[in-house]
Structures are given as C-alpha cells and as structure tokens.
Structure 1
Amino acid sequence: MPRRTPLVIGHRGAPGYRPEHTRSSYDLALELGVDAVEPDIVVSRDGVLVVRHENEIGSTTDVATRAEFAGRRTTKTIDGTALTGWFAEDFTWDELATLRCRERLPQLRAGSASFDDTQPVLRLRDVLDLVSRASLDQGREIGVVLEIKHATYMAGLGFDLAGLIAAELHAAGWADGRLPLIVESFEGTILDEVRDHGIRGTYIFLCESSGRPFDLVAAHGRHAPTYRSLLQPEGLDALAGRVDGISLDKRIILAPDRRGRATGPAPVVADAHARGMRVFTWTCRPENAFLIGQFRRGRDKAAFGCYESEWQLIVDAGVDGVFVDHPDLGVGIFR
C-alpha cells in the first residue's frame, strides 16, 4: 500500500550543502531528519566497495591534481558511452583513501564547494556504520538506499559485485532485515543476483526517462526494451513479480510539455500501485537548473525557483519516496 507520506531520502547525503558522499554530507542529512540516505557504490581494483556517484572520479575528487596519478587518466566506454578521466577500478582502496572529495557542481553550489579537499573518500562500510550509529543515537530507524552502479560493466571486468555486496552487508549487520535496507539499480539483473544471495530488503528498479537498461542492451542489443516500454502496463506486469517497486526520474511523473508545463501526474504511479509496487522519484532539487520550465524564476541557474509548487505536484501524485539534495527542504514539504 502507498505510504501516507513519502520517505524522505538524503540523495548522497545532503549535497545541496556539502560535497556529495562525504562524511559531513551524511552527518548533515541525518541531523536534518531524513528517513534514509542513499550511497552509490563502485568498486576499487582490490574489490573494496567505494561510495562515489560514478566510477569516473575526476569530477568528484582531487585526483586530477595528483601528479602520481596523472598516468592513470584514460578513456573507457561505460555502458556504451566513451568517458575520459580517472576510474575507481584502476586504484586500490589505499590509493583512493588518499584522495579528497570535491563538489561535483561548483558552478551551482559554491557554498558546498567551499568544503572541497577537506574530506576523504568513504567506503560502503563507513556509511553503513554511520547510519547504524545515528539510528541508535537518535532513537529511530534510519534506512540505507544502496544504489549499485554499472553492474554489467563491472561484471565484464571480472568483479562478483553481488557477492561483494552480500559479504559487506552481512559483515555490517545489514543483511537480515533487522535494519531498513533498500537495494536499487538501473539494471534488473544485479537486483536478482543480490536477492539470490539471501539479502533481505526492498528491491527497487530505477528508470530513466529515456534509454534502455544496459544489462538488457548487453543481452539483446537493439532489441532490448526501453525504460518507457517497461513502465507501460505490460512492462509493469512483468516487473511486479520481480521487484518491490520502481524509482522514476521526476520528469516521468511531471510529464512536462514542450513549454515546460507539467501535464502529470502520469498514470504510471497509479498503475504501479495497482500492482502492489512502491514508487519513488528522483531528484527533487530547488535550483532553477533542475526545475521544469514552469517553476523556474529568473535566469540564475543556481537560484531557487518555485520548487515548492513543483514538489507539491509530486506529493499529489502519491509517491512513496523522494530523493532530495536539501534534506531540510524535503522534510518540510514531504513530511
């Protein structure tokens, strides 16, 4: 059944105020009362689960300034897209631990960027332990929404990603359902594999507004279904027996027209609920740069627009969880 109020999930902590996936970002999100936080995970060369937005770490760490790592800059094809930079899987954990985090969007979040180069990269275990302690200290259940990045690509490098995740969750006490765990990915195959390891939690299939799941592209090429087709009633019928819910780009729900005016909520929310599935959405951000056109105010991309009005449409859609970059604003509107 849909929740009365949606879960408020600190998207990579509180990245509206601190560099994403840093200790201070998670600490602030927990202090501001989120129901859960969301770490993204990639893998180091020696099999350590590392918390980063992407496996390309040049935009979120100081690695580009480190002369000893200059030779590791390279170009790779990740999920069909060529990227040039530095990649977590080319570094041991001990090497990654020497790096310092940076704001990914400094042109929009100068306040957060003022904390650049002050905090180390975290492991998944660091975040799991941090949330466990916060739950005890605050006397309430706080969840972890674990997003698995680029699973098919990682499997191609020889990593047993599901096995690594299961082992870490067992070691940290997050595998048996006593703590509120959500596992999510844009690829359904890795969700099946983690579940097959006996990890108890809620399994959520992430959906872009365009494109195709890369695990299905790898298996079926141009015949792979699109995300949009999977969100039609027939696609939802198949997903309903496989995952516990879906997590949608907010544009899918808002359904803006060519003038940037919302025409939603789209029927997919009700269709998923009718099949007993939960529906999350991402990412609610107040800056003009991230709002649909109807709710932007002025030309400054970093300025806050009429985010309250946009977010109210998401409330009205009846979603079960929202990812936010500014936890105080999210708690204020969604709870």
Structure 2
Amino acid sequence: MTSRNVTAFVLVFTALISCLAPTTSAAQEDAMLIIAHRGASGERPEHTLAAYERAVDQGADYIEPDLVATKDGVLVARHENEISGTTDVGQRPEFAARLTTRVIDGEEVTGWFTEDFTLAELRTLRARERLPDLRPQNTHYDGLYQVPTLEEIIRLVRAKEAETGRTIGLYPEIKHPGYFSSIGHDLAAMLVEQLHAAGYEGANAPVFIQSFEVAPLQRLDGLTDLRLVQLLSAEGGPADDPAMSYADMVTPDGLAQIAAHADGIGVAIPLLLKADGTSTGLVERAHDAGLLVHAWTLRKENAFLPEPLQLPGNEAAPGNLAGLALMLGAIGTDGVFTDDPAIVRAVFPDDGAENLLGTIMTTDVDR
C-alpha cells in the first residue's frame, strides 16, 4: 500500500469514527463480545489451562477451545489433530514410530495425530508455543502445561465463575468433524452429550458451538438448543461440500440458508472490512438475516494487522490492535475473537472512540 493510500485509509477511518463516536453509548460498547481465541494465546501457549485462565483474568467473556478426539474417544483441546507444532511429541523417541501421513479434508498432512494416542499417552506430552518466531516470550512456558481435556476446561470455567462472580462462556469449535466421523468419532454428539451433562442446555446457556463445515451444524441443530455459529473464511469453502464456496455463503441467499441452522457467523476480518476500513456490507446483510457476526482473529503483532495499523518495528512488534477492534465495533460487529483479550477489553467498554483517535493517528503513514 502506498503512503497516499495509507493516509487516505487513516483519514476515512478517522472521519467514520468521528461521526459514530457521539452516538456510541457505554451500553453499546459493552455489548461487544470478547472471545479469547484459544485462550490468551498472545501471552501463553494456546489451548492450555494457563492460556484460558489468563484470558478470563483479562476480562474475556468466552474462551474458545478447539476440540479433537483421542484414540479412546476423549475430547481434548488442540488447534489441529496434528500436534507436532503445539507439543513436544517430535522430541519424544517413544512415539517416533507414530509419525505418519493422513489425508485431512482433502490435504495430505504429515505428523503425529491425537487419534493415535490414548488420553494417558497424550497427557505425557507438554505444550509448546506454536509461533515461536513471532512470540518468543511465550517459549518461556514451553514444557510446563499438559494438553487439557474438555472436562478440565469446564472445571476451570466453573472455578473462575465462583472466583469472579461472573458468567464465563464456552465457544468450542469441532475440528474436522467429517474426518473424525469417518474414523468412528462423532465429535458433534460427543460434545453435546458432555455439555448437556455439565448443565449447558438451551439457547440462553453461555455456549456457542462453531464449525467450518455445514452438515455437522445442521445435525447439531436437531441435537441441541445451544447456539450455533457457521464459520466463514475469506477463501475456499466448507470441506464437507466442495461445490459450495464461502463467497456464495455470504450473499443474501447464502446467509438466509445459514440462518436456517445457525444463530451467527464467525467471519474472517477481510470479509467485513474494506481496504479503507469501512464495512463491506456483510455485517448489515447478516443482521438482516437475523445472524450475529463474530470476527476473527484480532492479534496484536504487526504480522497480523492491516498495514495502516502496523507500528514501527518488525513483524513481531505490537501494532495498533485497538484501532482494528474499534473499526469492527464501528461497523456493528457483535463480537471478536482475539489472542489478546486485555487490549480489546480496554476498548470495550472502558475507552470510547475519542480516546483511540490519537493512537490511530500515530500510525506511521509514510512507512
């Protein structure tokens, strides 16, 4: 992006916020749902009890565990069922023979997979930072934490609710449900059974269940009244329906079809914001269809931010995440997934738009 385009971006966004700020009440700001993406994974290795607890302490409304299954049918939290990047399994000689290649959602993946480990075996592994080059500070926690089970996550949430006196929600994603079904693990049914047994039932329960696939959500709609979220990426389409594209799913007709089985959409930020920081219209279309809109993923490092919101430093240096959060709030987004709940909590509700304009304008527009 040229310096002229960056300057235009900042000016357009400043004008937008200046117009909206006088009508933005504290109640409206407080309505922004803060979802801790794999926990406070900007500060602790993702999908560990430490990351989830850190997120709760920073004010997250929901914590988000990605769920996969072990060989003996236990739901555990990992971003993927392939675990070489998030555990020390590659340094464990006793498991060297389990290195293998699988086809997951049409793609060949080589590594170690949760479905080849019993829970007891998996518990001997230790979590590692997935992005060590961008988050070297998190590597200090490598080797300290086990892979948590869904049962342990629920126990942590209950304990933090008792400690804080506030409700803490769960926002689980079932990962590769079609693949797991093909090898005998029905993630949707397993999850619903465990949530219902823990007392999470009905549309008012503090739970959202999410998936990139469509058929599992449609099936879940008949298994539970818990709220469901259809995930949408900026490219490609759902693994369980190669003929369908996410681009088709964000049209008015596509959103109407989603609304038949889901309560909201979880959307990649490029589908929500134009290059100048204004709305693409998707939030408005989704709201017209009766769907909530939750945006993913807000991360503080320059590597993950639009160029105009990057601040001086390398890719790992922190940029203007608060500005991006405010942009999404300005277009009416209902919630955001973030690796850094503390930063986003400072924006909603404590800091109004006026307080962030100075921060936004410190962006180096001549870079």
Q: If the length of structure 1 is used for normalisation, what is the TM-score?
A: 0.92
Task: For residue 171 of structure 2, give the secondary structure of its aligned residue in structure 1.
Answer: strand
Partner of 2:234: 209
Cα deviation 1:255-299 (Å, max 9, x = unaligned): 33xxxxx35311010011112110000111111010112222335
Larger radius of gyration, structure 1 or 2? 2
Q: Answer yes or no: is the 8 Å Cα contact 1:141–1:179 preserved in 2.
A: no
Q: 2:272 aligns with which of 253, 270, 295?
A: 253
Q: Answer yes or no: is the 8 Å Cα contact 1:208–1:249 preserved in 2.
A: yes
Change (3 A) 1:140 1:4: closer
Partner of 1:220: none
Give the alignment of 1:42-81 within 5 angstroms. 42-81=68-107
Partner of 1:314: 328
Cα deviation 1:223-275 (Å, max 9, x = unaligned): x110011001111121122211101011111233xxxxx35311010011112
CA distance in 2, matches of 1:232, 1:72: 44
CA distance in 1, matches of 2:100, 2:66: 22
Structure 1 stretch 205-214 or stretch 80-89: which is displaced more? 80-89
Letter of the 1:325 partner, please give it. Answer: D
Cα deviation 1:16-59 (Å, max 9, x = unaligned): 11001111111111111111100000011111001001101000
Letter of the 1:108 partner, please give it. Answer: L
CA distance in 2, matches of 1:267, 1:176: 31
- The alpha carbon displacement at 1:75 in A equals 1.3
CA distance in 2, matches of 1:4, 1:95: 43
Q: Answer yes or no: is the 8 Å Cα contact 2:322–2:344 preserved in 1.
A: no
Q: If the length of structure 2 is used for normalisation, what is the TM-score?
A: 0.84
Give the alignment of 1:16-165 within 5 angstroms. 16-165=42-191
Number of aligned residues: 322
1:325 maps to 2:350: no
CA distance in 2, matches of 1:303, 1:234: 41
Change (3 A) 1:241 1:54: same
Q: Answer yes or no: is the 8 Å Cα contact 2:35–2:64 preserved in 1.
A: yes
Q: Answer yes or no: is the 8 Å Cα contact 2:177–2:186 preserved in 1.
A: no
Q: 1:230 aligns with which of 249, 264, 267?
A: 249
Partner of 1:244: 263
Task: For residue 142 of structure 2, give the secondary structure of its aligned residue in structure 1.
Answer: coil
Structure 1 stretch 156-165 or stretch 174-183: which is displaced more? 174-183
Cα deviation 1:136-169 (Å, max 9, x = unaligned): 2211111000111001111111222222112211
Partner of 1:266: 280
Structure 1 stretches of 4+ moved >4 Å = none
Q: Answer yes or no: is the 8 Å Cα contact 2:204–2:226 preserved in 1.
A: no
